[in-house]
Structure 1
């Protein structure tokens, strides 16, 4: 919960209704049979959208290697579901309470060293996706691996008109997550710029939540 909208969503229970849902928006990852295994990395709540992609890629005949990361074991979920659609699953926690202690790029590096990988898919916090992209961009000792990231920038109208979801690319260009994404080539994203932009509404979100809480208390 970061603002009024997510606070209201957090109160929903099974059977409650949402008036309207707009989607799907933008582009997705092409599901097909790849030559080499596929690595899917889910961080925190990003594990949820990893499941349907892993499921479809597995059904397309791919070897799926899944890496799930969270701050601690209490924040991990859907391990059984991800295991059911994965040939190999690796758990990472920041505090070592389950699986490997450390970040998801550690097992990712080991996997890329041991075998060829067709694509990497990363969904989770921006900082996690940034370092996944840095690991697979071929700038170090590891080979370059095509990497998709799912950008969770703020979206308002979903058509690219408002510009709220825009993100800069490393070549100086601009794209829109709702139209060009949300799944994009992780190696073109200017993550440093995006991380700064991601925090620009923190004060407004806090103010909105405080006003809502005051209304509830009244």
Structure 2
């Protein structure tokens, strides 16, 4: 069992958990994820790691309560425990001195981006960061991200805070970047990748398709990258953003939406 030692509500329906998992914390790196199961009758689902403290033996996750399992998870309190917490899984973000880096994060993935930025800054990079959310109330970790940014832009879908939308990025791209890293909603990562393409900026995306076992056995997380079928859990979750077939990916991610809605309707909080 993996105990919860800290719980914070960062935004509406957005929670931060710090969880005791010494073996996972000892090996976790930015860009990786865990697969957890709350109880014996629960489903397995992935969450990207937002931080890890090997000395304390803890791993931090940030998640939105959007379905039955994540809502159940959000109901847990400090001193409660999670049955399974497997990881770290997937390949870590490539950390080196690139030079000028553009880091774009959206929604709850701001925490995972911050984890990446800490390592990239330590490697000597200059970072321009963009953090977005649907509205002002859902923006998280702005001040923490500011500490690791040479330049920081805030954006919301409705314009309630900072820039409106993501298309202002076009003006920022006039500045030369050696690398772009993005993590967040798939549609956002697709747009960022298409905007960086004409500038020839290498762009890394972090994908989170439907995933079951997390070890490459089930094939549920397959995604087409270039002319190859790749599994996000073992070949990713990071890929060349200019080669991903986003239309196929988004279609696959929506496949179980009706089932998820039924599960929420029947959810009794157990």
TM-score between both structures, scaled by the size of structure 2: 0.73
Alignment partner for residue 27 of structure 1, among 91, 112, 123? Answer: 91
Q: How many residue pairs get matched?
A: 206
The 1-side partners of 2:84 and 2:246 are apart by 31
Which structure 1 segments of 5+ residues have no match? Answer: none
Shift of 1:14: 2.7
Q: Which residue of 2 aligns with 1:121?
A: 181
Q: Which residue of 2 aligns with 1:18?
A: 82
Alignment partner for residue 146 of structure 1, among 202, 205, 209? Answer: 202
Q: Which has the higher contact order (CA 8 A, sep 6+)?
A: 1
The 1-side partners of 2:66 and 2:156 are apart by 23
Which structure 2 segments of 5+ residues have no match? Answer: 1-64
**Contact 1:2–1:206 (CA under 8 A) maintained in structure 2:** no
Map 1:156-175 → 2, pairs under 5 A: 156-171=212-227, 173-175=228-230
**Contact 2:225–2:239 (CA under 8 A) maintained in structure 1:** no
1:107-129 superposed Cα distances (whole Å, 9 cap, x missing partner): 3x22221x221111111111100
Task: Give the SS at the match of 2:244.
Answer: coil
Q: Which has the higher helix share?
A: 1
The 2-side partners of 1:160 and 1:55 are apart by 29
Q: Which residue of 1 aligns with 2:117?
A: 54
Alignment partner for residue 102 of structure 1, among 162, 165, 173? Answer: 165
1:42-98 superposed Cα distances (whole Å, 9 cap, x missing partner): 111121100010111111111011001111110001001000111110001122211
Q: Which residue of 2 aligns with 1:212?
A: 267
Q: Which residue of 1 aligns with 2:20?
A: none
Q: Which has the higher strand share?
A: 2
The 2-side partners of 1:84 and 1:73 are apart by 20
Shift of 1:210: 2.3
Q: Which residue of 1 aligns with 2:211?
A: 155
The 2-side partners of 1:112 and 1:212 are apart by 45
The 2-side partners of 1:192 and 1:126 are apart by 10
The 1-side partners of 2:209 and 2:147 are apart by 30
C-alpha root-mean-square deviation of aligned residues, in Å?
1.5
TM-score between both structures, scaled by the size of structure 1: 0.89
**Contact 1:2–1:209 (CA under 8 A) maintained in structure 2:** no
